[in-house]
Amino acid sequence: MKPLLYVSILLVACGLSGCSSDDGGNGPDPDPIVIADLAGTWDCTQFLATSTENPQVQFELISMGGALTVAVDVHGAFTGLASFPDPDTGQVFEVPIAGTFSLASQTRLTIDFAQEIPPLLEDETLDFTLNGNTMTLHNEVTTFDFDFDGVDDPAEFDAIFVR
Ligand SMILES: [Ca+2]
């Protein structure tokens, strides 16, 4: 009986490791990300520009009362709504947005807006991660006009989206 039991345990163990091989480890590589994996409705929870010259200088849209939501189809086309509070009056402007996401690589996402809204929503290719229902975007070298003097300032950009 004992040898049979061991064989059974071995079979179960092999079966389990076979099932989990998609998670990495010694199994085959995980399935590559395809654009359809981005399909869904995403809410932005962080939209942060940080000054390269002085990291204490930041602009974060969501904490200011802004919002950004995009609905993405299986081809990467998106439509959505961006809300920007006027820093002086607090009045919120809502702007419909549209465009296309495409994968430049497994770690780089290209955003092509139908109509750019500088300085916040401009065509870019950024580092991205997709982990379940959380997507992060990062751009090491970009610009943002922190002091609103009409001159772009060097910046890093980070965003988090949840669906
Ligand atoms: Ca500036």
Fold classification of 33-162 is Lipocalin (2.40.128)
Mean pLDDT of 11-39: 69
Instruction: Return the pLDDT at 120.
Output: 80
Is residue 133 within 8 Å of residue 163, measured between CB atoms? Answer: yes
Q: Report the chain's mean pLDDT, rounded to a whole number.
A: 87
pLDDT band with cut points at 50, 70 and 90 for residue 17: low
Ligand 1 centroid – CA 33 distance (Å): 37
Where exactly are the structural domains of the chain? Answer: 1-31, 33-162
Six-digit token string for 137: 């975007």
Q: How far away, in angstroms, is 50 Cα from ligand 1 center?
A: 13
Whole-angstrom distance, CA of residue 162 vs CA of residue 117: 22
pLDDT tops 80 at residue 21: no
- Report CA(7)–ligand 1 centroid distance (Å): 70
Cα(154) to centroid(ligand 1), Å: 9
What does the pLDDT read at residue 1? 47
**What pLDDT digit, counting tens, does each position of 84-125 carry?**
888 788 899 999 999 999 999 999 999 999 999 887 888 999
Query: Could you tell me if 135 and 123 are in contact, meaning their C-beta atoms sit under 8 angstroms apart?
Result: no
The phi, psi pair for 26, rounded to 5°, reads: -90, -5
Q: How far is the CA of 97 from the centre of ligand 1 (A)?
A: 25
d(C-alpha 133, C-alpha 115), whole Å: 27
- The predicted-structure confidence for 61-90, as pLDDT tens digits, reads as follows 999 999 999 999 999 999 999 998 887 888
CA distances from 14 to 2, 17, 18, 27 (A): 18, 5, 6, 12
